[in-house]
A = this chain, B = another copy of it.
């Protein structure tokens, strides 16, 4: 049961690197060298982050990527959403068929509550908060 998949993971690392290393523009080549992430996979990830408005991209020679927002305004949940879709643990497991003859399902309710918790806890974590304590 993974809360964070590989692409989200790599995205977090890349963004942390870019946030620390204050050069305005960082290229894939530099990230590959420093973080040892497979090149094409990382490219795909950064392109997605660009499309979703987390990064800005610069084409051509000496191009690369740059954070579009400040580290304290980039939430881990944003990144999870980009790669893993909306943060839902829920998804009406029982298709409303069985687990309640009445029209409410205890298990689903409970999972809904848990989800709220997870979302709100995760919702507090920003890229900046991952860097602070270094």
Contacts and interface: CB of A to CB of B under 8 A. Distances in A.
A89 B129 CA distance: 20
A134 interface: yes
Given A110-B125, A118-B114, A121-B117, A102 B134 contact: yes
Interface string A27-69: 0000000010000000000000000000000000000000000
Interface string A94-134: 10001111101011001101100110011011000110111
A129 B99 CA distance: 11
Contact of A9 (B4, B12, B93, B113): B93
Residue of A84, A100, A124 ringed by the most chain B CB atoms within 10 A:
A100
A32 to B, nearest CB: 14
Contacts of A25: none
A104 B132 CA distance: 12
A98 B114 CA distance: 29
28 contacts: A1-B87, A1-B88, A2-B91, A3-B89, A3-B111, A4-B93, A9-B93, A9-B94, A13-B94, A13-B98, A16-B99, A35-B98, A99-B130, A100-B133, A100-B134, A101-B134, A102-B133, A104-B133, A106-B129, A106-B130, A106-B132, A107-B125, A107-B130, A113-B121, A114-B117, A114-B118, A114-B121, A117-B121
